Amino acid sequence: MGQSLPTQPIIPMKKLLLALSLLSLALAGCSKNDDSATLADKTKAAADTAVDKTKAAAVDVKNAISDKLTEWKLTPSDIKADLEKGGRIVRTKTVAAGEKIGTVADNARIVTVINAKLVADSDLSALKINVDADAGTVTLKGTVSSPDFIGKAIALALDTDGVNQVISLLTVEVK
């Protein structure tokens, strides 16, 4: 009649396949633990690098503002001298060739940008400083807590694209 197949034990073959599956899962699990340790190390290194770059950028911004305060004669002594002459402080920056005169949309953008800068600065409060813009000339009105902050507010405004002149009518609040 027909040929009969050799009989092999089926159970040991299933056990072998099961053992191989478990072994491969165990090895894969070990591999993932190594990868996650490496991933954690890489994440920490990336975070440390980001912190270092942020600190360096903050120092650069602080230095740039300090340089502009000096360049635009907005140091505390300059502001105090101007306040003694009268309450109006005007600073003008040179306009680059080809720079356009402000439009109504530019004026709104300028006011928005300056207000955002004032809010972002811990020493200044946009709630106490009113910002108006007209064709590249910005007027600041309101109060600040010290003459130093008048110079800082003028520098932030003057360092905005589209601003050619800043007129400060800021006063120092009496405490």
Instruction: Please give the model's pTM, rounded to 2 decimal places.
Output: 0.57
**pLDDT of 2 over the 60 cut:** no
Whether 5 maps to a domain, the answer reads: no
Both 20 and 80 in a single domain? no
Q: Are residues 48 and 119 in the same domain?
A: no
Residue 131 has pLDDT above 90, yes or no: yes
> How far, in Å, are 111, 119, 123, 165, 166 from residue 104 at the CA level?
11, 23, 29, 16, 17
On whether both 97 and 141 belong to a single domain, the answer is yes
Is 36 inside a domain boundary?
Answer: yes
pLDDT tens readout for residues 22-78: 666 666 555 555 555 587 787 878 778 877 777 776 667 667 777 877 887 888 888
Task: Tabulate helix, strand, coil % of the chain (nearest 5).
Answer: 60, 15, 25
**pLDDT value, residue 100:** 58
Q: What proportion of the chain, given as a percentage, has pLDDT over 70?
A: 66
The range of the structural domain enclosing residue 58 comes to 11-71
| Residue 62 sits in the same domain as residue 101 | no
Predicted pLDDT at 165: 93
Asked whether residue 11 carries a pLDDT value surpassing 60, the answer given is no
Q: 99-111 as b/e, with b when 16 or more CB fall inside 10 Å? A: eeebeeebbebbb
- For the chain, how many structural domains are there in total? 2
Task: Measure the CA angle with vertex 86, ends 95 and 68; round to 5°.
Answer: 35
User: Residue 28 and residue 153: Cα distance in Å, rounded?
Assistant: 60
Q: Are residues 85 and 166 in the same domain?
A: yes
Assigned domain for 150 exists: yes
Tokens 């109060």 -> residue: 143
Q: Do both 53 and 84 map to the same domain?
A: no
pLDDT at position 101: 55
